[in-house]
Amino acid sequence: MRSAWWALIGLICIVPATAFAQEISSVDLVPRPHDLRVGEGAFELRESTQIAIEPILPVLDIAAYLGELINTRTGFATSIWTGVPMDSSIVLSTGLVNDNPEAFELIVSPAEIRIKGAGPGGLLWGIQTLRQLLPSAFEDRTGEQRDSWWIPAVEIRDKPRYAWRGSLMDVSRHFFSVEFVKRYIDLLSRLKMNVLHWHLTEDQAWRLEIDQYPRLTEVGAWRTEPDGSRYGGSYTKDEVLEIIEYARVRGVMVVPEIEMPGHATAALVAYPELACSDPPKEVPNDWGVFPDIFCAGKPDTFTFLENVLDEVAELFPSPYIHIGGDEVPKDRWRDCSPCQEIIEREGLGDEDGLQAWFIQRIGEHLASRGKTLIGWDEILDGGGVPGSVVQVWRDQDTVREAIREGHDVIVSPTSHAYFDYSPAALSLEQVYSFDPALGLSEEEARHVLGGEANLWSEYITEANFDLQAFPRLLAMAEVLWSGSGDFDDFKSRLENNAYPRLRAMGVRIGPEDSDVVRLNVGTDAESGEPRVRVETSVDGLDVRYTTDSTSPTTASPLVTDSTSFVEGDQIVLGVFADDEPLPIRREFSVVDHLARGKSITLQHPPDSRYPGPSPSALTDGLLGSADHRDGLSQGWWEHDMVATIDLGEEREVELISTTFLRNLRAWIAPPDTVIVEVSRDGQNWQPASKPVGRISYWVNGEDVSRENRVQWGNGRYREVVRYIRITARQDQLPDDHPGAGHAAWLFADEIVVR
């Protein structure tokens, strides 16, 4: 409606200077403004447009940014004036009276544009709003030149709901170039997001140059990939300063994360003396939670960490430093006499107490450098750090716990903020329903600083980063700035304004609620056999396949509309953008059997993060890979899998088999017990097997088996049945596992019945 209305105004009221004169952007902004009034007419941005400012330095900076923005696309040499505004001016000032420094007022009339911020931050967000009011062609650097650009008359009064609107970029699992990091900062700023949480260290890499410990990056930034190639990279201090300055101009604070005491294998490979005992010799090239952590019992560990943090504190102007603190397996500390001596000496009780003591010590050191510690919510275990900020990720109930213990909180739960998950598991609509202050009193909610979208990069590289970030980042930006709203209205604003704008910038937008690659299983009308077709919902991607278990290359056959796979095919799919491989691999086989396509009922639905390709994933005829993230298996946590299949009629059955995944690094274990029952009427059940006992898979702390799929089957069996019920009991992680005492994840794939 609005865009049509504006097109009309353009045609009637404005004398077209060029063929594009009537092109006026929709006012469908993201994030949604607090108060928007549409006026009459439009402002013409042209060669003679000037920027008028109050002569104060932060405003001068912002004016220069706006001038450059205009010049880059239009070629107009927009000059900056202090004093009396001239004709056709954009007037910038910071005099707005509002207790929120990020508040602003943007008034566009045919005569002039006025942007007034409560502080420099507000002024900058006014400029980012103005940018969204230009036609999307303004964002296309390769587009045609025009003599003028039209901006619809509006009055906008706006301010953010939360002060902390961030995104985590994990540059450790995969490396991202300086240019790519800057590009992301620019995208964040356009959406009025103001924090880049830069995850710089991990098990798989240390990316930040530290003068006193050169081996951190010489050794710790490089790993040997399974194919033998070397992979890595790091940032020099000059590059970091360049990024910080680029972000500052765009209103984005860069908050570094230096992980401790866990997720530190790369540092321990570089400096093995900081571990409790022999750490690995090689930087890991796979994913998960690793047992080697910084030794809490050695004074050298603290000398090292304090020296590192001193360099970090000096480099980064951010008043916050994130120290991780998540997923710390305690088994090395349990076996280490210096660590045990500290527990004894300090009366810490146990290893949780030791972790709390460790983090408190680091917190005190940061405080002495004028910095506030941020840690993941595990820093609450065993007693928190006074004055620290807690970033909640495990589940949102922890938000209240952290606030009651006196902390301010950043909220980024797996349920809404883990953008490394497939959109099939975390959809755009789910992100849009995010409420960081869910269930909190008004007083409690004051301690919620805001939230973050987390882009963990095990399966993300520069090639598919956009597909994971977008469109969900638009939802996160709106939720944190404006609060959630009407989803249909949000979607129409995406279609009318945000999507064309992002595409004009060259941003690739991923699916809203499905996997990038979709497998559709149908049944051939003539033969009754399964036929699998493949599609991608993203324009411009090519899907290629192999049938010999190798990874597809650009020479492999292309999947087209007419490609289909049949019973017995073993397929590996790869996805390519402009002939560059994306880190998306799908491995599956097609199996036909009696239960395929038959009704299946699950007593507990799978965890929302691992829903599988459909509710009937266990009987869809598709058998996925051992990778639990391939979207083809379903995952349960703290629930057994109880599946009941109705074959539709009585059939003679001689085999019932299920595949379970095993990946102890990812806390996935096969079930403790599997019970199979059968029935003719769905009422009276009888066992089809004795329960299968515990499967032995964990010896002396090492997962000795190379087989990470466990098939449970019963082949010496013949009976006429209609209903089959399989109960797979979730296991506890074994005693010598870092997560001992916790439930294991249970992942199941196709239940094959023959």
Contacts with ligand ACM by CB under 6 A lie at 326-327, 376, 393
Decide which of ligand ACM, Zn ion, none touches 326; Cβ closer than 5 to 8 Å per partner kind: ligand ACM
Decide which of Zn ion, ligand ACM, none touches 150; Cβ closer than 5 to 8 Å per partner kind: none
Question: Angle at which helices 237-249 and 178-190 pack, to 10 degrees?
Answer: 20
Q: Contact 466/509 with Cβ under 8 angstroms? A: yes
Residue with smaller CB distance to ligand ACM, 186 or 381? 381
Position 141, amino acid: R
Residue with smaller CB distance to Zn ion, 250 or 298? 298
Decide which of ligand ACM, Zn ion, none touches 297; Cβ closer than 5 to 8 Å per partner kind: Zn ion
Handedness of CA 235, 237, 240, 242 (dihedral sign): negative
Q: Find the shortest distance in angstroms from Cβ 734 to Zn ion.
A: 22
List the one residue out of 753, 558, 751 whose CA is nearest residue 659: 751
Decide which of Zn ion, ligand ACM, none touches 747; Cβ closer than 5 to 8 Å per partner kind: none
Residue with smaller CB distance to ligand ACM, 203 or 515? 203
Decide which of ligand ACM, Zn ion, none touches 295; Cβ closer than 5 to 8 Å per partner kind: Zn ion
Decide which of Zn ion, ligand ACM, none touches 327; Cβ closer than 5 to 8 Å per partner kind: ligand ACM
CA–CA dist 680, 601 (Å, integer): 16
Q: Find the shortest distance in angstroms from Cβ 393 to ligand ACM.
A: 4
Q: Find the shortest distance in angstroms from Cβ 391 to ligand ACM.
A: 8
Residue with smaller CB distance to ligand ACM, 390 or 509? 390
Q: Find the shortest distance in angstroms from Cβ 76 to ligand ACM.
A: 46
Q: Please state the length of the chain.
A: 754
Q: For residue 651, what are the β-bridge partners?
A: 721
Between the CA of residue 10 and those of 24, 109, 420, 446, 604, what are the distances in Å?
A: 7, 14, 42, 45, 56
Residue with smaller CB distance to ligand ACM, 600 or 666? 666
Decide which of ligand ACM, Zn ion, none touches 276; Cβ closer than 5 to 8 Å per partner kind: Zn ion
Residue with smaller CB distance to ligand ACM, 297 or 375? 375
Q: Find the shortest distance in angstroms from Cβ 161 to ligand ACM.
A: 24
Residue with smaller CB distance to ligand ACM, 44 or 327? 327
Residue with smaller CB distance to ligand ACM, 103 or 293? 293
The residue with tokens 């939802």 is 475
Residue with smaller CB distance to ligand ACM, 105 or 170? 170
- N-terminal to C-terminal alpha carbon distance within the chain: 57
Decide which of Zn ion, ligand ACM, none touches 381; Cβ closer than 5 to 8 Å per partner kind: none
C-alpha dihedral over 630, 633, 637, 639, to 10 degrees? Answer: 170
β-sheet with 580-590: strand ranges across = 541-546, 570-577, 580-590, 622-623
Decide which of Zn ion, ligand ACM, none touches 465; Cβ closer than 5 to 8 Å per partner kind: none
Q: Contact 473/431 with Cβ under 8 angstroms? A: no
104 phi and psi angles, rounded to 5 deg: -155, 165
Q: Find the shortest distance in angstroms from Cβ 424 to ligand ACM.
A: 19
Q: Find the shortest distance in angstroms from Cβ 291 to Zn ion.
A: 12
Residue with smaller CB distance to ligand ACM, 156 or 417? 417
Give the residues lining the site for Zn ion (CB under 5 A).
276, 295, 297, 336, 339
Handedness of CA 94, 99, 101, 104 (dihedral sign): negative
Q: Find the shortest distance in angstroms from Cβ 369 to ligand ACM.
A: 24
Q: Find the shortest distance in angstroms from Cβ 412 to ligand ACM.
A: 8
Q: Is the previous residue joined to 329 through a cis bond, with omega within 30 degrees of 0?
A: no
The residue with tokens 């480099």 is 315
In what helix (H) or strand (E) does residue 313 lie, and over which residues does it extend? helix 299-315
- State how beta strands 80-82 and 112-117 pair: unpaired
Decide which of ligand ACM, Zn ion, none touches 393; Cβ closer than 5 to 8 Å per partner kind: ligand ACM
CA–CA dist 252, 647 (Å, integer): 57
Q: Find the shortest distance in angstroms from Cβ 616 to Zn ion.
A: 49
List the one residue out of 458, 448, 752, 494 whose CA is nearest residue 630: 458
Nearest residue to the partner ligand ACM, using Cβ: 326
